[in-house]
């Protein structure tokens, strides 16, 4: 069993607020898994790039979980396309940290996103420990379902992902569909590709009194509340909810007196080029009086927004999983989501919400109306579905994957002592 895991999250820190910049579901994943690994006695060091000179080099995120801010490039937020130039500096800092300890300090490297995978690949070879990699998103999949006006992922990322897939000892896929994409699009070895769904914090995201939740966030008791949570960028398609709301008002003008559309999030990615685009769309559609734009929320406050909503809408062009859908359902709120990627697993169509094929706002409006009619039944189904996913189950499966990768690496070299063991022997001889 592993004693210490080096977790690599180059482009975004687990300490950042999800819903803005590059912080999203991956940040939640790293935080929740790291805490639970530590609770099992497995120490975690999370390496991430420093974005401010005021950030302390080392932060204890939780007992047994250390976040290390690595100086690599300027102290500012860099776009993902600018980060490859900083990989040498980042890798050197990670290797330098391990070298300050006794040989064999880390037992496993777990990289998140392809940039981290490039660093993890080198650390794996240097330390003689297995590399476990979570892609979170895949360039070839994203490029096959681009939103209008969105930039395709560069060829350099595609090549980088292919390299990491070829080198990783284990690949972690959120769903069976993602595992298939890794095999079909990247030539991944099915025997080393694990399907481990993410989880949800069922203590924070749980059903509660809708009226009290509405009071806490300032929503009228009799409102019809539609909710979007996520980064404001074309990939997440928050514009679809605004178009659907406009269609609902056109079909039923009396609804305007009660409709509340809450958009929780901040511009991110390609959405930073036009940060006011969604507000301008609301003006063009004539729905500014029913739309409220809110900043990203902390988990406990976010749970109140889910409880206050009648429906949470997740209209993304693509999602490797869709933690927002799971969080909403855990609060007993049904979901209307795009029938793409991991959302087909995160949402049980017809039981915990409805999946919408295609990109027609009229279809979303119709699906929202159908969910409203069956709100109580679907809400109960939503909670039941969400309880099948927990971070404890995710962590247990990851630990099993770590242990199997460690055992496989040892078995593959029965006559060749691991690099860490050779270093320990060398240190012992020098000390005599």
Q: Annotated binding site: which residue ranges? A: 11, 17-18, 22-27, 80, 113, 137, 157, 231, 236, 297, 306-307, 309, 319, 327, 333
Which value, to the nearest 10 degrees, does the dihedral of the CA atoms of residues 44, 45, 51, 54 take? 100
Strand pairing partners for 263?
228, 293
Do 116 and 132 form a contact (C-beta atoms < 8 A)? no
Backbone Cα Rg of the chain: 23
Give the DSSP per-residue string, 151-216. Answer: PPPPHHHHHHHHHHHHH-SEEEESSHHHHHHHHHHH---GGGEEE------TTTS----HHHHHHH
d(CA 263, CA 227): 6
**Phi, psi at 237, each rounded to 5°:** 55, 45
Burial call 379-398: b when 16+ CB within 10 Å, e when fewer: bebbbebbeebbbeebbebb
Nearest to 48, CA basis, from 20, 81, 86: 86
Annotated binding site for UDP-N-acetyl-alpha-D-glucosamine: 17-18, 25, 231, 236, 297, 319, 327
Give the DSSP per-residue string, 252-287. Answer: -GGGGGTEEEEEE--B-GGGGGSTTHHHHHHHHHT-
Annotated binding site for Mg(2+): 306-307, 309, 333
Do 367 and 349 form a contact (C-beta atoms < 8 A)? no
Q: Can you say how many angstroms the Cα of residue 235 is from the centroid of all Cα atoms in its chain?
A: 14
Residue 128, CB-side half-sphere exposure with 13 Å CA sphere: 16
281's CB contacts (< 8 A; 6+ apart) are 239, 242
Annotated binding site for 1D-myo-inositol 3-phosphate: 11, 22-27, 80, 113, 137, 157
Angle between helix 361-373 and 375-386 (nearest 10) = 100
Angle between helix 299-308 and 323-330 (nearest 10) = 70
Do 160 and 139 form a contact (C-beta atoms < 8 A)? no
């Amino acid at each position: 069993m592993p004693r210490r895991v080096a977790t690599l999250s180059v482009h975004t820190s687990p300490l950042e607020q999800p819903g803005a910049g590059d912080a999203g579901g991956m940040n939640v994943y790293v935080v929740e898994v790291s805490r639970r690994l530590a609770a099992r006695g497995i120490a975690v060091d999370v390496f991430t790039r420093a974005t401010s000179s005021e950030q302390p080099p080392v932060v204890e995120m939780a007992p047994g979980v250390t976040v290390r801010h690595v100086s690599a490039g300027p102290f500012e937020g860099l776009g993902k396309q600018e980060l490859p130039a900083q990989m040498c500096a980042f890798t050197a800092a990670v290797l330098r940290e391990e070298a300050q300890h006794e040989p064999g300090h880390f037992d496993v490297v777990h990289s998140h996103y392809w940039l981290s995978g490039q660093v993890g690949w080198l650390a794996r070879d240097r330390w003689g420990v297995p590399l476990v990699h979570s892609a979170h998103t895949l360039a070839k999949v994203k490029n096959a379902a681009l939103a209008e006006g969105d930039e395709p992922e560069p060829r350099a990322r595609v090549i980088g992902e292919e390299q990491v897939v070829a080198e990783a000892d284990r690949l972690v896929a959120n769903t069976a569909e993602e595992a298939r994409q890794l095999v079909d699009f990247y030539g991944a070895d099915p025997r080393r590709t694990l399907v481990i769904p993410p989880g949800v914090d069922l203590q924070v995201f749980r059903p509660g009194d809708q009226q009290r939740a509405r009071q806490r966030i300032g929503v009228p008791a009799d409102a019809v509340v539609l909710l979007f949570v996520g980064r404001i960028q074309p990939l997440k398609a928050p514009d679809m909810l605004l178009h659907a709301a406009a269609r609902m008002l056109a079909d039923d003008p009396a609804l305007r007196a009660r409709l509340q559309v809450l958009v929780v999030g901040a511009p991110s990615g390609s959405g930073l080029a036009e940060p006011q685009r969604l507000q301008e769309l609301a003006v063009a559609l004539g729905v500014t009086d029913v739309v409220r734009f809110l900043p990203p929320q902390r988990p406990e406050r976010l749970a109140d927004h889910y409880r206050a909503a009648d429906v949470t809408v997740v209209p993304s062009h693509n999602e490797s999983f869709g933690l927002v859908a799971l969080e909403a359902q855990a609060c007993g709120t049904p979901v209307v989501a795009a029938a793409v990627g991991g959302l087909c697993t995160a949402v049980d169509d017809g039981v915990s919400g409805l999946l919408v094929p295609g990109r027609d706002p009229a279809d979303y409006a119709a699906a929202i109306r159908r969910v409203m009619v069956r709100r109580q039944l679907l809400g109960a189904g939503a909670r039941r579905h969400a309880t099948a996913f927990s971070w404890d189950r995710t962590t247990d499966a990851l630990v099993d994957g770590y242990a199997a990768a460690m055992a496989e690496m040892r078995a593959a070299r029965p006559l060749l002592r691991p690099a860490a063991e050779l270093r320990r022997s060398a240190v012992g001889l020098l000390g005599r």
